[in-house]
Amino acid sequence: MRAAVLREFNAPFSIEEVTFLDAAPGRVLVRTGASPFCSTDVTNWRGELGKVPPAILGHASMGVVEDVGAGVEGIRVGQRVVVPGTPECGVCFFCSRGRPDQCSELFDRPGVSATSDGYLQVATGADGAAIKAAGLVGGYAEMMNVHATQVFPIDSDLPDEHIAMLGCGVTTGFGAVVNAARVAPGDTVAVVGLGHVGLWAVQAARLAGASTIIGIDPIASRRELAGQLGATHVLDPGVAARAVVLSLTGGHGADHVIEAAGPPEAVPEAFGYSRRAGTVVLMGVKKAGSTVTLSQAAVSVEGRTIIGVQNGNARMRRDLPLLVSLLESGRLVAEPIVTTRYPLEGMDAALAASRDHTDVCGLIVPALSGRGE
Ligand SMILES: [Zn+2]
Ligand SMILES: [Zn+2]
């Protein structure tokens, strides 16, 4: 099996033959269909999120079950499955409290130290190297060896690329609006950052019945896409955007501001678009250790609610069937957000296009290898 292995930070991916470990008890082998190239992996590639090579990146994916380890229930060989970036063990402290977005399988891994990121070996390189799936998934390879708590069977004929987006972008952007902000009919919403998460947030705000949906991004093509997907107004943050947002919201600011941009500077910017006693949903993280400074009064005296969101505060078993039905009925659309499909050999190009913001969402499709796309 071939994999795009991160052997060294800030260097081209190594496309190499590896041998995947057999499905151990509790684990599942999944033949990869498609994996979104996420901007988080640009940060991983730079070594800014604590991953340790050699590792396979790609923290969300989908595919077909190839083999199932002992003790795995409810997952069969041949099933189509979503492999999201966030496991849902169902029994840890956080899952028990209805917050699987914080599942201990992901956030409380043992073995994390200065020289280890705590991820398990999933494959062996031709040179004998123990290769891990950084982020637990390892979607940039022809096969994935994942824990059963991260495998969700799906009954749908949607294209692989669209299903793959359910593992990170869709759940995050949709969940920010529906699960976190709880946007209601008639509300006003501003979305800061119109990358693939922001564009899902725009669509979710439209479905939730928001009266005014303001998309804010410096890239004109992304603003245009947001307009097609439901934004009622689009703005370049460079041109007095705050004054325009205030004028579009009766002078108050938006009821809900969804930050889907990433850099720390986007947080005070998002606050500037929000009204007193409004909601600000924060999703970005530039790198481990990034900090943000906010006006104290804007939070306390002015009564704003800050909601942090990881994977859209989703509960996969509840939310996946809903999202699939919305995609199948065309009320959510994925294809305009898919910019480019890449074979494994296209990993470096996918990285450059994500880093340079020329792709909204590139997808790695291992089966394209050898077909000369
Ligand atoms: Zn992602
Ligand atoms: Zn859990």
Query: Confidence class of residue 133 from pLDDT cuts 50, 70 and 90?
Result: very high
> From the CA of 300, how far away is ligand 2's center (Å)?
33
Per the CB < 8 A criterion, the answer to whether 214 and 233 are in contact is yes
- Ligand nearest to the backbone CA of 172: 1
- Ligand nearest to the backbone CA of 94: 2
pLDDT, tens digit, 9 for 90 and up, residues 102-118: 999 999 988 877 778 88
Q: Give first-to-last CA distance, the chain, whole Å.
A: 20
The pLDDT value given to residue 347: 97
> From the CA of 276, how far away is ligand 2's center (Å)?
35
Q: Is the pLDDT of residue 373 over 80?
A: no
DSSP code of 72? -
Q: Phi first, then psi: what are they for 142, rounded to 5°?
A: -70, -20
> From the CA of 154, how far away is ligand 2's center (Å)?
20
> From the CA of 39, how far away is ligand 1's center (Å)?
7
Q: Is the pLDDT of residue 367 over 70?
A: yes
> From the CA of 102, how far away is ligand 2's center (Å)?
7
* CA atoms of 286 and 289, how far apart (whole Å): 9
**49-53, 221-225, 308-312: which range is least confident on average?**
49-53
pLDDT, tens digit, 9 for 90 and up, residues 331-351: 999 999 999 999 999 999 999
Sign of CA dihedral 126, 131, 137, 140: negative
The pLDDT value given to residue 39: 87
pLDDT, tens digit, 9 for 90 and up, residues 57-81: 999 999 999 999 999 999 999 999 9
Assess whether the region 2-159+334-368 and the region 173-310 belong to the same CATH fold: no
Report the run of H or E that residue 259 belongs to, with start and end.
strand 254-259
Total residues belonging to the chain: 373
Instruction: State mean pLDDT over 43-65.
Output: 94
Q: Is the pLDDT of residue 372 over 80?
A: no
What integer best gives the mean pLDDT of the chain? 95
The pLDDT value given to residue 370: 66
* CA atoms of 202 and 233, how far apart (whole Å): 11
> From the CA of 93, how far away is ligand 2's center (Å)?
7
pLDDT, tens digit, 9 for 90 and up, residues 222-249: 999 999 999 999 999 977 999 999 999 9
> From the CA of 201, how far away is ligand 1's center (Å)?
14
* Domain covering 2-159+334-368 assigned CATH 2.40.440.10 in the classification: no
The pLDDT value given to residue 113: 78
pLDDT, tens digit, 9 for 90 and up, residues 138-190: 999 999 999 999 999 999 999 999 999 999 899 999 999 999 999 999 999 99
**% of the chain residues with pLDDT over 70:** 99
Instruction: Enumerate residues with CB within 5 Å of ligand 2 (an ion).
Output: 89, 92, 95, 103
Domain ranges of the chain: 2-159+334-368, 173-310
* Domain covering 173-310 assigned CATH 3.40.50.2300 in the classification: no
Instruction: State mean pLDDT over 123-131.
Output: 97
From residue 17, alpha-carbon distances to 4, 27, 373 in Å are 9, 21, 21
Query: Confidence class of residue 360 from pLDDT cuts 50, 70 and 90?
Result: very high
> From the CA of 311, how far away is ligand 1's center (Å)?
9
Residues 6+ apart with CB under 8 A from 309: 101, 172, 175, 176, 179, 180, 281, 282, 283
Query: Confidence class of residue 371 from pLDDT cuts 50, 70 and 90?
Result: low
Instruction: State mean pLDDT over 122-135.
Output: 95
Instruction: State mean pLDDT over 81-108.
Output: 95
